[in-house]
Every structure is written in structure tokens, then in C-alpha cells.
Homo-oligomer: A and B are copies of this chain.
Amino acid sequence: MSDTPLAIGIDFGGTSVKTGVLYRGNLIDEAPRIETQQFDSATPLIHKINETITDLRSQHPGIAAIGVGMPGFVDFPTGMVHNLTNVKGWQKIYLKRELNELTNLPVTVENDANCMAYAEWKRGAGRGLQHLVAITLGTGVGGGLVVDGRMVRGANFVAGELGQSSIDYQGPAGAYGNHGSLEDYVGNQQITDLAYAAYTKAGQTKQRSECEPAQLATLANQGDTIALAIWDQIAQKLSTSLMNCCWLLNPQAIIIGGGVAKAGPLLFTPLDKHLRAQLSPPFKENLSILPARFGNEAGIVGAATLALEEAGFNVDD
């Protein structure tokens, strides 16, 4: 083993916790997933995560830092996670301090979408860039921003919530009372609903499961005109939030990941068209719209890389 440090990345998802070992940006080992619904409160879950860490450390003695990506608002300096809807009793848990006491390693806790953005910035499609917008499209829509070579965290460390930004001031009220949030138009469920309604209206009966993003991509690739029209609508709505990011932040690149982005050109081609049609030249010249490099492993890679950097290691090699 070289003296380049290894790190553990932990991706705390909606129903399970994934843990892996990162070496020079590569995921070299993964532990069995932990299903969160087995746990009645935060403490036994944290102890189970610590067991997994102990197992991985016994196999990889060079581990120097631990990074955790969390599906919620995180107070970055203290690593306090405000609350989780999917773990009972998870309210203002100082996860950084608890894991640090259990493992005696430096621990970093960050929002999961920021981890994804961090993975793409340091190890993926955005490597070497100074001005970056990253968005992940799945059940929810998350984002992360890099401005002037620094991750944007904001006054309370909760910045980058692209999914909550509005594309229609008269749209339906979302999770936080916000009208017309992007997530309420291009989340997995909303895409499925939109497609199901379009097929029903056209007199073509489909199961809802046939209208999910992956199936909708297959249909569009077979030339189905309804599916193609739905992808164009998704691209149009997505372009509005991304255009707003461009007018506000003038990034070099927009990086798009998550399950919905697997549609590839079905999404990227109309998105490119809608986005560039709504920007002035200095905002679109040299603007790249890129698919994310990382898929499901983005959270682990980002959390581990961020943890190494926070622990003082150079991750730009």
C-alpha cells in the first residue's frame, strides 16, 4: 500500500447506508448496505455504522479520514444533521462528533448533493473548473455550486438547493411552501405522473410503471412521439432553473447526474437547445453542459474526497 491516504465514504440514502473505501479517487471496496428501517433511533444506527467502519479499517489499515453525505440540511462546521425523515428520532444529531469519538479519525459531514457536486468537481466531469453548477435528478432534485474555486455553503451552510428553486411563481406550493419548485416538476414521480397523464389523454392505456423515467427513455428511443414530447417538456422546465443559475453565477459548466440523467441525449439535446435559446452570448460562450461521471457511487466518492481535503490532504493530484 502506498502512503497516499485512503478514506471511507458513507452515503446515507433514503432507505439504506452505503459505505466504501476510496483510494486515489477509486472505490476499491464496499461494505454490505445497512437498511435504516431496522433502527428505532439514531444511536444504534450510528453504532452499526461504526461496526462497518471497524470492519473496513481492519482490511484497509491506511484509512485517514471519514466523510458522510446526508440527505438533509447539515451544519457543516459542527457536522450537526438537523433532521431525517427516514430515521426515527433523528433530530439535531452531532454526527461528526459521535463518529469522531467512536473512530478517533477526522470526520466530515456534508449534504449529499454537495458531496455529489464535490465528487464531480474534484474527481469527475468538472475537474479543474472554478465555476460549476451540479444537479442530481432522481426522486428528489439536489444541487451543489462552486464559485471562484470554492464550494458555496452560505450563511447557515445550506446553500445549493436547486430542487427547491421556483420555475413558476404561480405553481403549486411545495414541501416548504415554495411555489413551483423544480423538484415538483422533474422529480421521478412527477415525470411518471406527467407521462401517465399524457398517454391517458391520448387514449393509450399504460401502467404507471411503464411511465417511469427509464421506461419513458426506452419508449422515446423507439420513436414514441408522446415520450419524446415529455422529454422535451422535462428539458424545458429544467432549463429554466439552470438558466437562472447561469444568469446569477455565470458558470463554466453545468453537470447533470442522477437516474433521470441516464436518458442521455433524450434529455441533454433538448436541454441544450432550451438553455442556449435563453442566454446572452457571454453567458453561453464556453458553457459546457456535461453528464456526471459518477452514478450511484457519487456520494461515497464525494464524501471521502471532501473528508481527505478537510483533513489536510491534497486531493487535486
> A residues bordering B, Cβ < 8 Å?
73, 82, 130-131, 143, 145, 147-148, 150, 152-162, 164-170, 176-180, 236-237, 239-240, 243-245, 247-252, 277-280, 282-283, 285-287
A247 to B150, CA, bound (A): 17
Contact yes or no, B244 A176, CB < 8 A: no
- What DSSP secondary structure best describes chain A's contact surface? loop
**Given the complex of chains A and B, what is the CA–CA distance between A245 and B159 in angstroms?**
9
Residues in B with CB closer than 8 Å to A245 are 248
- How distant is the Cα of A134 from the Cα of B180 in the complex, in angstroms? 23
Instruction: Tell whether, in the assembled complex, residue B177 and residue A277 are in contact, meaning their CB atoms are under 8 Å apart.
Output: yes
| A73 in complex: contacting residue of B82, B277, B280, CB < 8 Å | B280
Q: Beyond the given A130-B155, A176-B278, could you list 5 further A-B residue pairs with CB under 8 A, ordered by the A residue number? A: A155-B250, A155-B252, A158-B250, A164-B280, A176-B280
Select A161's contact among B176, B180, B236, B247, beta carbons within 8 Å: B247
Pick the contact of A154: B150, B154, B170, B249 (CB < 8 A).
B249
Q: Cβ of B251 and Cβ of A154 under 8 Å apart?
A: yes
In the complex, what distance in Å separates the CA atom of A44 from the CA atom of B17? Answer: 68
Q: Please, which residue of chain B has its CB at the minimum distance from the CB of A159? A: B250
Measured between alpha carbons, how far is A282 from B169 in the docked complex, in Å?
22
Which residues of the other chain, B, contact A244 by a CB distance below 8 angstroms?
165-166, 244
Q: By the criterion CB–CB under 8 Å, are A165 and B250 in contact?
A: no
Which chain B residues lie closer than 8 Å to A164 at the CB level?
247, 280
A166: chain B residues within 8 A (beta carbon): 167, 240, 243-244, 278
For A179, the chain B residues whose CB sits under 8 A away are 240, 278
Chain B residue numbers with a CB within 8 Å of A161 are: 247-248, 283
Q: Which residue of B lies closest to A244 (CB)?
A: B165
A42 to B296, CA, bound (A): 55
Chain B residues within 8 Å of A283, by CB: 156, 158, 161
By Cβ-Cβ distance, the 8 closest A-B pairs, closest first, are: A154-B250, A159-B250, A169-B240, A178-B278, A165-B244, A161-B247, A156-B282, A155-B252
Chain B contacts for A177, CB-based, 8 A: 277-279
Q: How far is the CA of A179 from the CA of B161 in the complex (A)?
A: 22
Q: Could you tell me the distance in whole angstroms from the C-beta of A160 to the nearest C-beta in chain B?
A: 7
Q: What is the bound-complex CA distance between A148 and B146, given in angstroms?
A: 11
Kindly report which residue of chain B lies nearest to residue A173, judged by CB atoms. B278
Residues in chain B near residue A169, CB distance under 8 A:
167-168, 236-237, 239-240
What separation, in Å, do the CA atoms of A90 and B152 have in the docked complex?
Answer: 36
**Closest CB in chain B relative to A85 CB, distance in Å:** 13
Residues of B within 8 A of A159 (CB): 247-250
**A156-B286 in contact (CB<8A):** yes
A153→B250 contact, CB < 8 A: yes
Collect the chain B residues with CB atoms within 8 Å of residue A277's CB: 177
Question: For residue A160, which residues in chain B have a CB less than 8 angstroms away from its CB?
Answer: 248
